[in-house]
Structure 1
């Protein structure tokens, strides 16, 4: 048997390929939409990918199950658990095998057993792996059920998908699912669907794999025996889910076009940017400080780094065309990145290096923390905190007002129009994106506070620091 681990650091998403070297068959568990890495690995190992399996309808990336099935004719093993709301709408279009708790299926001489593990979502299943015909499990693919050091959050259906009343029920289901998990042999390896940085839990570890025994000994969720206390802990202090999670639930349930049917973005001349801003979203991928010194009015700033995909999911509208200002040799990687969360309307790329100084007519000032706080105390500026809820509740400037960066587009009209707005995050990275978003929405009198709340805290008197706990 062969086992390969694939990890997308931009989405903190893990997937796995299991191969039977005797028969040459392989299966991919929770594949990403970009299937090329799996195909290359299979070719290198002399394997043919004949099947995929999904632990649940994902909310944080576009699944590659339909991509595999439409392009290669692979069989898809999909959950048949949960009620009618949690059935795969695209299953009838492909060779899908709907599976329930306790069922098994084989890929070559490798056996996978389905374990229904609801809690994160109602239809969630895990796959217990057996090599050959052995009765002793080698490991379990847990998806968003059990992570290293944490477990899947139960509130996404309510917070991101708007399905009311599901959080408490999901937490109770998770408690029961964990009881089953703890019955597996301690040596059973645990292969989760995410690592540190994912919004699918609140304290995921950075180590890629674990064992049942280790999680029983160290994972907070497996230590708790009182259901009510467990439910309270699990549903407290979860991070705010990105805007795009609701869209991911939709496309992964109903299906999305295969990437080979999406047009390649066209290259446009730099002198067209001002016109493009009038008709589509234009994203400038330069670093925040460079953008702040001069940019095209109407553009927003999402630096092209490891967080680009996540912030694009927060800030870019799925229903509008997208133009990107970046180096031309980044076109294919940016398109792949955007497609990983279903942003298929990337239609234009402009070489950012060819923009002229005469086009970069808008900027914003950077203020030190002491200057900003002095102005705030004098009533001369409105301080906007764009950090998440957990950061805010831990500690914040008493005169600040909070709107999460990802919610600025929807809530910017709450901001005052009669005074400057000084924006901060934790360190100064998110606030620069926030300022760009506000400027693009017509809120022009904005300031970035350098160093973020870390710098602000250094100059604040203790009496000016508040908590929400």
Structure 2
């Protein structure tokens, strides 16, 4: 048996390629939308992808299940659990608790584990050439290394009302019914790692075991004591801000993401063409340089989304394709860099990349305004906005600041003043630059605090002036 983990560092998301060498067939679980890596794995091992499936209706990225099936002819399997409100809106084989997918000697059994979402499945994998019992668990957003999938996302990002409490109770039951009935040796391969917003304390380990989690995970003591209420309280306490774009992902994944098929390479555009389209407000320019470079001068009306470890996440914060039909034009070092960015943006449903340029010379120029921490007290701002997460804000913030995370600010402009300057800050400046550029494009006058919270804190000569209360 072959089991390969395909991991996206940006979204902290894992998919799995499970293959039977004897039959040269494979199943892919939780594929992302740019599918070349799965196809390359199949070619490398001389296998054919015959089935694609997923653990649940994802919120943090756009599923590649339909895309991969269309490209390979594979059969699609999705959860049939969770009730009528949680049924997928496209044609596929439905999986229910204990149903199986078989390829050669490998059996993949679905188990219904509601809690993170009502329809959630995990997959128990048995390598029949080696054993007659499961040895592996692809756990999706059920159990992570050191943590559990959060049950409050339906409230935070999908319009639910107090569904978190029922989700937490379901998670408690799912752990007792499924997870704790597995042997200690079963390897657990989760759907996310450290940095994902789908949990609050995910470990960075790529896998764990049932026995290790049973012995050491925070939740195990509540299960051992059969204390459901204490479990619920600890599970729900301190969950991070959910990204606002999760609501769009939920909707699109439930309906079925558009299948793109073969795409044309991202083309280089002329400066004159881009300048004309900017003049007519037909495109969204994306400056992919680091904030320090963009602050020296960027394109008027552009978004600053640096090309780096969090490009996809930041893009989903700053650009909403449901409300902005203007396609993206990327500033990139060349075709390869532009293509890489465009491919990654597909993972959050940003498909509208019109092309790229390699310079901003000849385009309308804009220098983003910044303010030194030493000048902040005397600056007449309509709002001082902290775009960090709630937990960061609670641990310490600039007095008088209002918190609204960068992941949510574009969708909650009703909480911002209609006029006057907004001074924004994050921890060190990266998230702040992304959020500030998005708000400027939405029509707000935004001034960035240079160096953000770290610089302000260092500027305080008297430690007691720092407000450390929530």
Tell me which moved more, 265-274 or 430-439.
265-274
Q: How does 1:210-359 map to 2 (within 5 A)?
A: 210-225=208-223, 226-260=227-261, 264-277=265-278, 278-319=281-322, 320-327=325-332, 328-329=334-335, 330-346=337-353, 348-353=354-359, 355-356=360-361, 359=363
Native 8 Å contact 2:244 2:411 kept in 1: no
Give deviations 1:366-419, integer Å, cap 9, x for gaps.
4332332x425xx67743211111111221122222232233334446545775
Native 8 Å contact 1:5 1:14 kept in 2: yes
**Aligned counterparts of 1:286 and 1:340: Cα–Cα separation in 2:** 21
Tell me which moved more, 36-45 or 140-149.
36-45
**What is residue 127 of structure 1 aligned with on the other side?**
123
Matched residue SS, 1:314: helix
Give, in angstroms, the shift of residue 145 of structure 1: 0.4
Matched residue SS, 2:16: strand
Matched residue SS, 2:341: helix
Judging changes above 3 Å, is the alpha-carbon distance between structure 1 residues 276 and 323 closer, same or farther for their aligned structure 2 residues?
Answer: farther
Given candidates 171, 177, 189, the residue that maps to 2:187 is 189
Task: Please state if 1:370 is matched with 2:374.
Answer: yes
**What is residue 165 of structure 1 aligned with on the other side?**
162
Query: TM-score scaled to structure 2, two decimals?
Result: 0.91
Judging changes above 3 Å, is the alpha-carbon distance between structure 1 residues 36 and 262 closer, same or farther for their aligned structure 2 residues?
Answer: closer
Tell me which moved more, 39-48 or 145-154.
39-48
Give, in angstroms, the shift of residue 42 of structure 1: 1.4
Give deviations 1:253-274, integer Å, cap 9, x for gaps.
1112222255554432223444
**What is residue 208 of structure 1 aligned with on the other side?**
206
**Aligned counterparts of 2:82 and 2:381: Cα–Cα separation in 1:** 55
Tell me which moved more, 430-439 or 158-167.
430-439
**What is residue 24 of structure 1 aligned with on the other side?**
24
**Aligned counterparts of 1:11 and 1:55: Cα–Cα separation in 2:** 17
Matched residue SS, 1:344: coil
Judging changes above 3 Å, is the alpha-carbon distance between structure 1 residues 120 and 212 closer, same or farther for their aligned structure 2 residues?
Answer: same
**What is residue 14 of structure 1 aligned with on the other side?**
14
Give, in angstroms, the shift of residue 163 of structure 1: 2.1
Matched residue SS, 1:243: coil
Native 8 Å contact 1:2 1:18 kept in 2: yes
Native 8 Å contact 1:67 1:259 kept in 2: yes
Judging changes above 3 Å, is the alpha-carbon distance between structure 1 residues 76 and 350 closer, same or farther for their aligned structure 2 residues?
Answer: closer
Tell me which moved more, 294-303 or 324-333.
324-333
**Aligned counterparts of 1:406 and 1:274: Cα–Cα separation in 2:** 30
Tell me which moved more, 380-389 or 259-268.
259-268
Structure 2: give runs of 5+ residues left out of the alignment.
Answer: none
**Aligned counterparts of 1:123 and 1:165: Cα–Cα separation in 2:** 18
Matched residue SS, 1:466: coil
Native 8 Å contact 1:270 1:352 kept in 2: no
Across the two proteins, how many residue pairs are aligned to each other? 458
Give deviations 1:336-375, integer Å, cap 9, x for gaps.
11111111122x223142x22x635311344332332x42
Judging changes above 3 Å, is the alpha-carbon distance between structure 1 residues 151 and 293 closer, same or farther for their aligned structure 2 residues?
Answer: same
Native 8 Å contact 2:318 2:434 kept in 1: no
Q: Cα RMSD over matched residues?
A: 2.1
Give deviations 1:57-93, integer Å, cap 9, x for gaps.
1111122211122222211222111111111111x2x
**Aligned counterparts of 1:152 and 1:145: Cα–Cα separation in 2:** 5
**Aligned counterparts of 1:421 and 1:63: Cα–Cα separation in 2:** 36
Task: Please state if 1:136 is matched with 2:133.
Answer: yes
Structure 1: give runs of 5+ residues left out of the alignment.
Answer: none
Tell me which moved more, 323-332 or 23-32.
323-332
**Aligned counterparts of 1:138 and 1:289: Cα–Cα separation in 2:** 49
